[in-house]
Amino acid sequence: MRAAVLHEIGQEKLEVLDDVEAVGFGPGKVRIRVRATGLCHSDLSAMNGVLPQPAPFVPGHEGAGEILEVGDGVRHLKPGDRVVLCWLPACGACPACRRGQTQLCLAGFMNAGTPNFRRPGGDLFGFAGTGTFAEEVVVDAGCAVPVPEDVPFDIAALIGCGVTTGLGAALNTADVAAGSSVAVIGCGGVGISAVQGARLKGAAEIVAVDPVASRRESALRFGATRAVPPEELADARQQVTGGEGFDYVFEVVGRSATARTAYENTRRGGTLVVVGAGAMDDFLRLNMFELFFDEKRILPSLYGGGDVLRSYERTIALWRAGRVDLAGLITHRVPLAEIDEALDQMRTGTALRTCIEI
C-alpha cells in the first residue's frame, strides 16, 4: 500500500512509496483504511525535530477512516465502522483516566516506540503511534473511536486533533466567561477553533493575532471581533481593554517568544492558555516577582484539556447544530501523491487545514 515517508529528521519533503505494509495486527488491534487526514502543525514539528519522534516514520495523526478488520477481543467495533483515529487513547484504568483527565493518560504512548509499518528496506514508525499519511494503519482498538454515519471523513479527521485541541482549550481549560475579552495568538486550524470556542462561551471581544493576512480574514469569519498582525497587538489591547490586558490569551504557536508576549498581554489575574506544542529546549522566562505579584494563571492545554471522548461527542453535537463551522476550516484538499503541496501550504500559512484524501 501507499504511504508518505520521512526518511530522516530535518528533511523537508516526504516520499510517497507504494511498498509499505501496516504491521502489528493481532488481539486488541484494528486495521483501518484511512480515508481522510488533516495536516497538523505537529506533523511539521516532528519532521523538523522540534517534537521528539524516531525516524524513519510516516507522519499524520489527525485522521479518519473505516475499519477493515478487528483483532480478537475487540467488541466495540466491526468491519465497515466509521472511526476517528485518536492519537492519545485512554486506557480507562490509570489514575489520570480514573480522575476523568483522559488527555493525560500515557498508556497509549507505550506503543510509540514500536514500528507501525514495514518496507523491504526496514521498519517505519508512525507519528504519535498512528501515522495517517498511509492507506492503512494498524492501531490499538482504543485509538479507533466510532463516529456516526452523518459525519464525513474529512470532518471526522479534524476532530482527531486540531478542532478538539482548539475548542477544548476554550471550553475545558479556560472555561471562558461570558462577556470577557480574549486574544488568540496564532490562527491556523487550532487557533481558529479556539476563536470558535471563545465565541460559543460568549466572549465579548475576540482579537485574532496572526502575521498572515488570509488567516486574519478567516478569523473574522469564524467569530473574531477584530484581527491584527502581531505588531498591532499593543494597539488592540489598548482599544479593547484600556491597556489592562485581556482576560484570556491563548498561545497557539508553541514558542517561548509568543508565550512571553501572551503573558504580557494577559491582564493581572487573567489567564494565559498555552496550546501550542513547543520544543524541549525552548524555555519561557518569567521573573519570580511578576509571577507572584500579577497573579496571572498559566494553564497549559493538552489535546483540549478534558475527557477526550466526551470532547469528540460535544464537537459532533455542536457541528450538527450548526454552532461550529468545521467544513470551513478545510481550505485546501490534495491527494496523498501531492502531499508536499500540503506541507508548503502549511509552511506559508495559506491553509487553515489541508485535507489529504487517501
* Residue span binding Zn ion (CB under 5 A) among the ranges 74-82, 105-113, 198-206, 306-314: 105-113
Q: How far is the CB of 300 from Zn ion (least distance, A)?
A: 15
Pairwise CA distance, residues 258 & 251, whole Å: 7
Residue 242 burial by Cβ neighbours in a 10 Å radius (0-12, 13-18, 19+): exposed
Q: How far is the CB of 160 from Zn ion (least distance, A)?
A: 8
Q: How far is the CB of 40 from Zn ion (least distance, A)?
A: 3
Question: Is residue 105 involved in binding Zn ion (CB under 5 A)?
Answer: yes
* Residue span binding Zn ion (CB under 5 A) among the ranges 75-83, 88-96, 134-142, 254-262: 88-96
* Residue span binding Zn ion (CB under 5 A) among the ranges 46-54, 107-115, 250-258, 282-290: 107-115
Q: How far is the CB of 165 from Zn ion (least distance, A)?
A: 7
Q: How far is the CB of 189 from Zn ion (least distance, A)?
A: 9
Helix (H, G, I), strand (E, B) or coil at 93: coil
Q: Which three three-digit cell numbers place residue 74? A: 475487540
Are 23 and 138 in contact, with CB atoms under 8 Å apart?
yes
Locate cell 488570509: which residue? 214
Question: Is residue 161 involved in binding Zn ion (CB under 5 A)?
Answer: yes
- Reported as half-sphere exposure (CB side, CA atoms, 13 A), residue 138 has a value of 22
Q: Which is nearer to Zn ion, 117 or 127 (CB)?
A: 127
* Residue span binding Zn ion (CB under 5 A) among the ranges 95-103, 119-127, 203-211, 322-330: 95-103
Q: How far is the CB of 63 from Zn ion (least distance, A)?
A: 10
Pairwise CA distance, residues 32 & 287, whole Å: 49
Q: Which is nearer to Zn ion, 188 or 245 (CB)?
A: 188
Q: Which three three-digit cell numbers place residue 19? A: 511498498
Q: Which is nearer to Zn ion, 81 or 307 (CB)?
A: 307
Cβ neighbors of 162 (< 8 A, separation 6 or more) are 38, 40, 62, 188, 189, 190, 193, 329, 353
Applying CB under 5 A, the site for Zn ion has a residue count of 8
Pairwise CA distance, residues 203 & 224, whole Å: 10
* Residue span binding Zn ion (CB under 5 A) among the ranges 158-166, 194-202, 212-220, 225-233: 158-166
- Reported as half-sphere exposure (CB side, CA atoms, 13 A), residue 214 has a value of 12
Q: Which is nearer to Zn ion, 17 or 161 (CB)?
A: 161
Question: Is residue 91 involved in binding Zn ion (CB under 5 A)?
Answer: yes
Q: How far is the CB of 326 from Zn ion (least distance, A)?
A: 15
Q: How far is the CB of 255 from Zn ion (least distance, A)?
A: 16
* Residue span binding Zn ion (CB under 5 A) among the ranges 2-10, 94-102, 109-117, 202-210: 94-102
Locate cell 487550532: which residue? 190
> 40, 259, 316, 342: which one contacts Zn ion (CB under 5 A)?
40
Pairwise CA distance, residues 47 & 33, whole Å: 24
Question: Is residue 193 involved in binding Zn ion (CB under 5 A)?
Answer: no
Q: Which is nearer to Zn ion, 23 or 104 (CB)?
A: 104
Question: Is residue 94 involved in binding Zn ion (CB under 5 A)?
Answer: yes
Question: Is residue 42 involved in binding Zn ion (CB under 5 A)?
Answer: yes
Q: Which three three-digit cell numbers place residue 147? A: 463516529
Per-residue binding letters, 116-155, with Zn ion (x by CB under 5 A): ----------------------------------------
Pairwise CA distance, residues 191 & 224, whole Å: 11
Q: Which is nearer to Zn ion, 28 or 79 (CB)?
A: 28
Locate cell 495523526: which residue? 61
Beta strands (DSSP E) in the chain are 3-5, 15-17, 21-22, 29-38, 57-58, 62-70, 82-85, 117-119, 122-126, 136-140, 144-146, 181-185, 205-209, 226-228, 246-251, 266-274, 297-300, 330-335, 353-357
Q: How far is CA 175 from CA 39, 266, 299, in A?
A: 27, 16, 11
Q: What are the residues binding Zn ion (CB under 5 A)?
A: 40, 42, 91, 94, 97, 105, 107, 161
